[in-house]
Amino acid sequence: MDLTAFHQALDTYLRQQMPNYTLQLMELVSIPSISSSPAHGRDMTRILENMRDIVTRYGFRARIVRTPGHPAFIATLETAADRPWVVIYNHMDVQPAQEPQWNTDPFIPVLKNEAIYGRGSTDDKGPALAIIHAINFLRTQNLPMPNIQIVYETEEEIGSPHFGAFLDEHGDALQAPASILVSDTIFEGDHPAITYQLRGMQRLEIELKTGSKDLHSGLFGGVARNPLNDLLHALSRCVSDDGQLTVPSLLEDVWPLSPEEQQELDKVAEIFSLSKFDQDSEQAARYSDDSRDILMRTWHRPTFEVHGFEGIQSTPGMIKSALPYQVKAKVTMRLVPGLEPANVVHKLQAFLRQIDPGIQVIDRGGSRPVVTALDNPFMEKAREACTFGFEREPVFVGSGGSIGALPEFQRVFPQAPIVLIAQSLMSDGYHAPNEHFRLEQARRGIKTIAHYLTSIADFRG
Amino acid sequence: MDLTAFHQALDTYLRQQMPNYTLQLMELVSIPSISSSPAHGRDMTRILENMRDIVTRYGFRARIVRTPGHPAFIATLETAADRPWVVIYNHMDVQPAQEPQWNTDPFIPVLKNEAIYGRGSTDDKGPALAIIHAINFLRTQNLPMPNIQIVYETEEEIGSPHFGAFLDEHGDALQAPASILVSDTIFEGDHPAITYQLRGMQRLEIELKTGSKDLHSGLFGGVARNPLNDLLHALSRCVSDDGQLTVPSLLEDVWPLSPEEQQELDKVAEIFSLSKFDQDSEQAARYSDDSRDILMRTWHRPTFEVHGFEGIQSTPGMIKSALPYQVKAKVTMRLVPGLEPANVVHKLQAFLRQIDPGIQVIDRGGSRPVVTALDNPFMEKAREACTFGFEREPVFVGSGGSIGALPEFQRVFPQAPIVLIAQSLMSDGYHAPNEHFRLEQARRGIKTIAHYLTSIADFRG
C-alpha cells in the first residue's frame, strides 16, 4: 500500500464528506433510542431505518430483523467472491440522559467546538458512522477490503438479552467471518487503545430461608435464626474486606497472565491516570492506590458485588423489629478468562453450602469473558492501523466491563478473533452528561478503520 | 386474712359478675383499637371512653389525657388517706388482625367454649378488665387495698413512643406509687408466671458512604469500594454465626446472673416446652437445641438483628449491576441489664469505627431493660397471690420482649418495683389469629389480683 497516496486520498474524502458525516450523525443522535425505556421502543426501529438509508446509499443491502426484544440489523457489502468476510458490530441504542448537568437537550444535537454533543454521539453512533465512511472511502477508491457484514443491535445498553437468540435464528444470514471488528471502547488517556479482553458477568440470587413467617424479635430473637444475619456471614466469606473474591475453588480457575499480558499491563500502568479514574468515579473511595494493582483488579480479577436484598425491610426511616424469615441477596460477579458462568454458579453453590447447607444459589444469567490472543495477526494489523490513523502507537488493554453481544459472537463464531478498536476519548462522557464526539476523532477513526480494513482485505488469520 | 371466707366471697362475686365481665369484654373487643393503623385513630378515644364508663361505675374518677400521639387515661380510686398508692398499667390498643386464619371476625367477638374470641381479648383487654373486677370486688366487700391509679395507654403495640412524654407532662396527676402492677404477660406452659425482667431495645441505623453516585461495576468494580460489601463485613463482626452479639466492649457490661436467677432459670428450663416454642415460631430454624440455653438467649443475652437496608436494590426479580455508594443497615438490639441505650450506641460506634472509620451509627431510639429484684417483698406477695388464685406455684421468668412503658415508669418512679403477673396462656394467641381469653383465666385472674392487692394494702415495700 502506498501510504502517502492513501493518506492524500483519505484527506480528500474527509474534506468532501465530513459535512455529510456531521449531518448524518446529528440526525442519528436526534433519535432518542433509549433501549431501557419502554416509551422509546419505536425509536429502535427508527434509528435502524435511518441507518438503513445511509448504508444502502453506500452500496449495502440492509434489512431490519425482529427479535423477541428490540430489533437488530444486518447489512451486507460483497466486494469480491474470493475475499474473506468480516463482521462489524455496533449498537444503535443509547443510555438514558436524565442527568441535570446536561447543558443542552441530549436529543437535540449541537455542533460546538468541533464536536457533536448529544446522547449516543460517542456511544456508539459516531464510531459506527465513522466505520461506514471508512468503508465508503475504500469502496469509492476501489481499494481492497474484505466482504463486509454489519450487525447492529439496539439492546446493548440493557445487556443484549436477545442477541444470542438473534444469532441462533439469523446466523445463516451471516457468512462465517474471518474476524469481527468492534468500535465501542475508549482510549487510554491520550493513547489509542485496542481491547483484547473483556470481563464476563454473572447475575446471581443467593437465598436463605429459615422459617415461614416474620417472628417477634423479643420473644424469638437470639434463638430463631435471622436469615439476614446468617446470609451476611456467608456473603462476607465470598469477598475480602479489600474487595477481592475469596472463593478458593473459583480463584484457582483464573488464568494466569502471560508474559505479553504482563508487559502490556506494565505499559498501561505507566500512563494510567489515577486522577482521571477518580474524576470519573466522583472521588469514590478505593480499595487500592497502585495503578498496576488497579488495572489488575479491573481487567484480570473477578469481582463479587452485593447490590441488594429481597425479603428485607427497605422503607426509608422505618425500622420494624420483626425478624425476616426468607431473604435473597442480589449479586453480580465480573468474570475473567478461566471462569465460565455455569461453573461459577456451581462452585459458588458448593462453597456456600459448606457454610450453610440451606443456601440456594440461583443463576440469573451469565455471559462469558471475551478474550482475543495478543499475538493474533489481526491485532498486529489493528496496531498498525491505529499508528497510521491516530498517529500514535496504541496500547493493548483489558476492560472491566462487558459488551453483551461479544460472548455470543465467540460462541457462534469461535474461530473469529474479535478486534476492538477504540475511537472514543475518556473525556467524551460515555454514559455521562454532555456526551460528545469530536470531529477530529471521527476523522482519525475513519482513517484508522480504512487502513485496518484494507490491510486485512485478503487476511484469513 | 381469712382465706376461706375470702374465697367464698370471691366465688359469690364471680357468680354474680362474670356475665357482666363477659359482656363488658365483648364490647371492649368490638372496638378495633389498632394503634398502628391511622384509619383507627378515633378508636383509641372510643376504647378509653368505654373504659371510663366502666371504672366510674366502680367508684373511680377517670379522665382521658391527650398526648402527641394516641390518648392515654388516668383513673383514681382513693381508699384511705394513710394507705400507699399503687399504679396499675395496661394498654387498650391492639395488634392488627389481618391473618387469613381467623375463623371469625376479629372485631365481632364471640363466646365459644367458655372463651371470648377476638383481637385484644387476651392482649390486653381481658386481663385489664379482670383487674378492674378484682378492685371492684375488694371495694364492694370493704376489704383493704391500696389507693389505686390506673394508667392506660393506646400506643403499646407501636412501642409506646409518647409514654415518656405523657409521664413527664402528667406525672403530677400521679401519686408516687409504692409499686406498679402490670398484667400484660403470659404463663410459662401450665405455670403461672411472674416476670421479673424484660429486655430493652435499641433501634439503630448503621451507615457507610463511599462515594457520591452509583458506579459502573465493570469499569470500577474491584477498585471502587462497594459500601454494601464493606458494611456486610462490619456487621458480620457484630454477631456470631450462631446468633450472638460479639462486641467485646458491650458483652463486658452485661450483668452476670445471681444465684437466685440461676435457680429460677433452671426451674423454668425443666418445664420449658421446645415443641410449643417451635409451634409458635412455625418451626423456624434455631441457633440452639438446649432449653436452658434457649432461655438464657431469650431473657439474659443481648441480640444484634439486621432487618434490612436502605440505599440498595430491593425490587423483586431485578438485578442491576451498578455499585451503590451509600447504604444504611436497619438494626435492632435487645438489651439486658447492664446495657444502657446511650452507652450501647456509643460503644458500638467505637467498635465499628475501628473496623471502618467511615461508619456512622445513628441512634433511632432505645429503651432500657426493666428488672425487678427477685428478693423484693412485692414479688413474694405476688407469688402467694398466684398460688391462691391460679392454684399453682408460679415461676419467675424473664422476657425477651419489651413493654415500652415500663422503662419510663422506672425512670420516673425508680423506687417502685414493677410486678408483672401473667393472666394469659401461651395458647391464647398473643399477636396471632383466633386470639382468645378463657373465662376461667379471667376468674382466676380476678382472684389472684384481688389477693395480691389486698395483701399489699398497707405495703410500702
- Looking at beta carbons, which residues of chain B come within 8 Å of A288? 223
pLDDT higher than 80, residue A461: no
For residue range A217-235, list pLDDT tens digits in order.
Answer: 998 999 999 999 999 999 9
B251 touches A at CB < 8 Å: no
CB contact under 8 A, B309 and A309: yes
What is residue A93's predicted lDDT score, i.e. its pLDDT?
98
Q: Would you tell me which residues 302-331 of chain B have a C-beta closer than 8 angstroms to some C-beta of chain A?
A: 302-310, 312-314, 316, 318-325, 330-331
Q: Is residue A444 part of a domain?
A: yes
Task: Report the DSSP pairing between strands B436-438 and A418-421.
Answer: unpaired
A244 touches B at CB < 8 Å: yes
Instruction: Show which of A328, A351, A367 is a domain's final residue.
Output: A367
Could you tell me the CATH number of the domain that includes residue B326? 3.30.70.360
For residue range A357-394, list pLDDT tens digits in order.
Answer: 999 999 999 999 999 999 999 999 999 999 999 999 99
Low-confidence residues of chain B, pLDDT below 50? none
Q: Is residue A279 part of a domain?
A: no
Same domain assignment for residues B342 and B406: no
Whole-angstrom Cα distance, residue A332 to residue A305? 5
What is residue A338's predicted lDDT score, i.e. its pLDDT?
97
Q: Is residue B269 part of a domain?
A: no
- Looking at beta carbons, which residues of chain B come within 8 Å of A401? 216, 218-219
Q: Is residue B139 part of a domain?
A: yes
Which of A229, A301, A310 best probes binding to B when mutated, by most B CB atoms within 10 angstroms?
A229
Distance from CA of B406 to the nearest CA of A (A): 15
Same domain assignment for residues A308 and A436: no
Same domain assignment for residues A175 and A231: no
Q: Please tell me which residue of chain B has the smallest CA distance to A303.
A: B222
> DSSP labels for B289-346?
--HHHHHIIIIIS---EEEEEESSB--TT----PBPSEEEEEEEEEE-TT--HHHHHH
Same domain assignment for residues B18 and B164: yes
CB contact under 8 A, A228 and B306: yes
CA distances from B108 to A46, B29, B105, B461 (A): 62, 8, 5, 43
Instruction: Show which of B315, B334, B367 is a domain's final residue.
Output: B367
- Looking at beta carbons, which residues of chain A come within 8 Å of B322? 307
State residue B77 phi and psi, 5-degree precision: -130, 105
Whole-angstrom Cα distance, residue B334 to residue B243? 13
Which residue from B235, B308, B316 is facing A313, i.e. has the nearest CB?
Answer: B308
Same domain assignment for residues A155 and A232: no
pLDDT higher than 90, residue A460: no
CB contact under 8 A, B218 and A402: yes
Domain count, chain B: 2
What is residue B288's predicted lDDT score, i.e. its pLDDT?
98
Q: Looking at residues A118-122, what average pLDDT do you find? A: 98
- For residues A271-300, one letter each, b for 16 or more C-beta atoms within 10 angstroms of the residue's C-beta and e for the rest, the string is ebeeeebeebbeebbbbbeebebbbbbbbb
| Residue in B214, B242, B313, B213 with CA at minimum distance from that of residue A329 | B313
CB contact under 8 A, A323 and B307: yes
Assign A226 to helix, strand or coil: coil
Which residue from B223, B302, B330 is facing A294, i.e. has the nearest CB?
Answer: B223
What is residue B217's predicted lDDT score, i.e. its pLDDT?
92
Q: Is residue B44 part of a domain?
A: yes
Q: Would you tell me which residues 112-171 of chain B have a C-beta closer than 8 angstroms to some C-beta of chain A?
A: none
Instruction: Show which of B321, B350, B367 is a domain's final residue.
Output: B367
In sequence order, which ranges of B356-458 are alpha helices (DSSP H)? 377-389, 405-412, 439-455
Provide the grid cell at B331: 438494626
State residue A439 phi and psi, 5-degree precision: -65, -30
What is residue B235's predicted lDDT score, i.e. its pLDDT?
98
pTM listed for this prediction: 0.89
Could you tell me the CATH number of the domain that includes residue A426? 3.40.630.10
- Looking at beta carbons, which residues of chain A come within 8 Å of B319? 203-205, 307-308, 330-332, 364
Same domain assignment for residues A53 and A74: yes
Q: Would you tell me which residues 73-112 of chain A have a C-beta closer than 8 angstroms to some C-beta of chain B?
A: none
Whole-angstrom Cα distance, residue B16 to residue B436? 22
CB contact under 8 A, B223 and A211: no
Distance from CA of B329 to the nearest CA of A (A): 9
Asked if ipTM goes beyond 0.85, one says yes
For residue range A13-48, list pLDDT tens digits in order.
Answer: 999 999 999 999 999 999 999 999 999 999 999 999
Q: Is residue A8 part of a domain?
A: yes
- A429 pLDDT band, cuts 50/70/90, is confident
A221 touches B at CB < 8 Å: yes
| Residue in A209, A202, A203, A149 with CA at minimum distance from that of residue A180 | A149
- Looking at beta carbons, which residues of chain B come within 8 Å of A235? 229, 232
Which residue from B199, B211, B298 is facing A285, i.e. has the nearest CB?
Answer: B211
What is residue A317's predicted lDDT score, i.e. its pLDDT?
86
A397 touches B at CB < 8 Å: no
Same domain assignment for residues B338 and B439: no
Same domain assignment for residues B321 and B395: no
pLDDT higher than 90, residue A60: yes
Q: What mean pLDDT value characterizes chain A?
A: 96
- For residues A420-456, one letter each, b for 16 or more C-beta atoms within 10 angstroms of the residue's C-beta and e for the rest, the string is bbbbbbbbbbbbbebbbbbbebbbbbbbbbbbbbbbb
Q: Which domain holds residue A386?
A: 3-198+369-455
What is residue B207's predicted lDDT score, i.e. its pLDDT?
98
State residue B186 phi and psi, 5-degree precision: -130, 145
CA distances from B257 to A124, B80, B248, B263, B336 (A): 70, 40, 18, 10, 11
Whole-angstrom Cα distance, residue A92 to residue A70? 11
CB contact under 8 A, A229 and B304: yes
Whole-angstrom Cα distance, residue B265 to residue B263? 5
CA distances from A440 to A21, A443, A444 (A): 12, 5, 6
Same domain assignment for residues B413 and B360: no
Rounded to 10 degrees, the C-alpha dihedral A5/A8/A13/A18 comes to 150
Same domain assignment for residues A156 and A118: yes
Same domain assignment for residues B142 and B22: yes
- Looking at beta carbons, which residues of chain A come within 8 Å of B401? 216, 218-219
A226 touches B at CB < 8 Å: yes
Q: Is residue A349 part of a domain?
A: yes
Distance from CA of A370 to the nearest CA of B (A): 13
Count of pairs with CB atoms under 8 A, one residue in A, one in B: 253
For residue range A241-255, list pLDDT tens digits in order.
Answer: 999 999 999 999 999
* Residue written as grid cell 438467649: B297
CB contact under 8 A, B298 and A219: yes
Same domain assignment for residues B122 and B141: yes
Q: Is residue A342 part of a domain?
A: yes
| Residue in B219, B204, B329 with CA at minimum distance from that of residue A305 | B219
State residue A450 phi and psi, 5-degree precision: -60, -45
